[in-house]
Chain A
Amino acid sequence: MLARLRVADEDSAETVDKLSRIVDFVDQLSQADTEGVVPMAHPLHATQRLRADVVTESDHRDDYQQNAPAVSEGLYLVPKVIE
């Protein structure tokens, strides 16, 4: 259920095998000496830019909802959540 994905029973052995190989492969990282190294989150060490808190978007709801699988009166429909 991790990541909201389901693996069919017939595929589970193969999935486990391939994921184990990937995890074993990335385990090589444990050999690296990273004592005191700062983790790198951005390749140019840039920080997030800020902007003034003003409205910049116009309303495109109808456009965007063209791609929605189920809508009604401008709302996105999902199965009933509250009984």
Chain B
Amino acid sequence: MTAGDLHLQSLTQLARGLGEGDFTSVELTRALLDRIAAHGAELNAFITVTADAALQAAERADALRNNGEKGVLNGLPLVHKDIFCTRGVLTTCGSRMLEDFVSPYDATVVERLASAGAVMLGKSNMDEFAMGSSNETSYFGPVKNPWDLERSPGGSSGGSSASVAARLTPAATGTDTGGSIRQPAALTGTTGLKPTYGRVSRYGMIAFASSLDQAGVITRSAEDAALLLGVMAGFDERDSTSIDHPVPDYVAGLGESLKGLRVGVVKQHFDEGLDETTGNAVREALAVMESQGAILTEVDMPDLDLSVPTYYVVAPAECSSNLSRFDGVRFGHRAEDPEDLLDLYCRSRSEGFGAEVKRRIMTGTYVLSAGYYDAYYLKAQQVRHLIADDFKKAFEEVDVIAGPTSPTPAFKLGDKIDDPITMYLSDIYTIGANLAGLPGISVPCGFASDLPVGLHLVGPHFGEPEILRAAHQYQLQTDWHTRCPEGYE
């Protein structure tokens, strides 16, 4: 490899190259910053580029390496979704509400990655407060998909998926409440991992729906995701829902073959809602896993059909509560010349939030209101239990559950934004894992109409080693994850 194609290398390859002295972190960081300068604007993938801070961090990493002290990610560049608080750096969450918000502290995810030596290149664009599946709800405008600039890169972690796909960064963080890491990964031909609920700290990650939100990564390969998860995962007393569970060596477990791995294929995931070519690509991927020794069995999950309506009660309810903190008083947008306190609250919120965020807050307050609470919120929590039980039963028979990540490949910007229900249904295959708190990963598995398709693998609670290993073994056998969109080689 020459310095000219550093952007094409995976995180794992870059770590090796840095370790062997083939190039320095400063050279690598400069090369990627140049690419961001060249392509960032056409994709609208970044809200903030932290070029100076990145070069300083890269210099420190190079100095540390020369002294023989280094973290596992020493000198490796990455991008943070703009939902993670970054000390001294603009943190907008894709909203006008936080247009000028400079975080006074670092999220635990940011802190851990930085301590391991990672170099932050910038903050990626996203749907406003992570509420969206296309990146079109961002106050900073939609992100474009590098596979076709007229199409969406998915959402809400669309800036992260587009920048990894376009080889502007080897990796990016993301968050996933209903599919916001896995769906954009599928739509851009990248690998997206959402860990078990509570596996990675939510501290400093701006809250959307607290019983569903989980931080993860978008990378070029499962191996890279394993490398990053090992640094990000672990107990954090600052997050009250963080789970105290040992963190295994995710990279060490990747080598085991698929022989004997029991893969459940959900009957309900191959229904009429699935685009035919997408379905074919996923079936072929399953056949590849079978040829590698996996044992496929069909699993029935009858309550999964209700996962999207369940989600659209639970998530808005939690969001209406979480977003009540934005009142124009302590931080965030404040309306000018308020008549009184109520006017300050109402106008600050009405001006600061976009249409989708307002709809979800209003839906949330409605389903939580007296007289509707039992019919909607309580009912949804009961159905959530049924869905979680479906998964529990399935995992008595199988080790991982496989299917499509998204019902269609990347759709055109503008196609779904006027119909909230159609947009919500683009997360139909991913939402179940959030409701049940399970880990999931999307890996590239082919193309439909020249657009990438994702294979979705879900594991039991803390089953990251199983899904990472399955994804890695599949990626050893296939090269879909190495395909690069034209013009970004």
Question: A: which residues have CB within 8 A of B?
Answer: 1-7, 11, 15, 18-19, 21-23, 25-30, 32, 34, 37-44, 46, 48-49, 51, 60, 63-64, 66-70, 76, 78-81
Contacts and interface: CB of A to CB of B under 8 A. Distances in A.
A29 B365 contact: no
B489 interface: no
Contact of A60 (B104, B309, B339): B104
A42 B382 contact: no
Given A6-B346, A43-B437, A67-B101, A32 B359 contact: no
A29 B197 contact: no
Contact of B381 (A3, A41, A78, A80): A41
B313 A79 contact: no
B386 A67 contact: no
B237 A26 contact: no
A58 B489 CA distance: 49
Interface stretch (B43-51, B125-133, B328-336): B328-336
A51 B237 contact: yes
For A5, A26, A30, A39, the residue with the greatest tally of chain B CB atoms inside 10 Å of its CB is A26
Per CB-CB distance, the 10 closest pairs between chain A and chain B, nearest first, are A43-B437, A39-B381, A69-B334, A34-B382, A67-B331, A40-B385, A63-B104, A37-B382, A3-B365, A26-B309
Interface in B433-459: 434-438
B241 A42 contact: yes
Q: Classify the interface of chain A: helix, strand, loop or mixed.
A: loop
A42 to B, nearest CB: 6
Q: Classify the interface of chain B: helix, strand, loop or mixed.
A: helix
Given A22-B359, A32-B386, A34-B379, A5 B197 contact: no
Contacts of B255: none
Given A29-B383, A67-B104, A43 B436 contact: yes
B312 A76 contact: no
Contacts of B332: 67, 69
A79 B243 contact: no
B341 to A, nearest CB: 5
B56 interface: no
Interface in B210-256: 211-212, 237, 240-241, 243
Nearest to B305: A28
Contacts of B365: 2-3
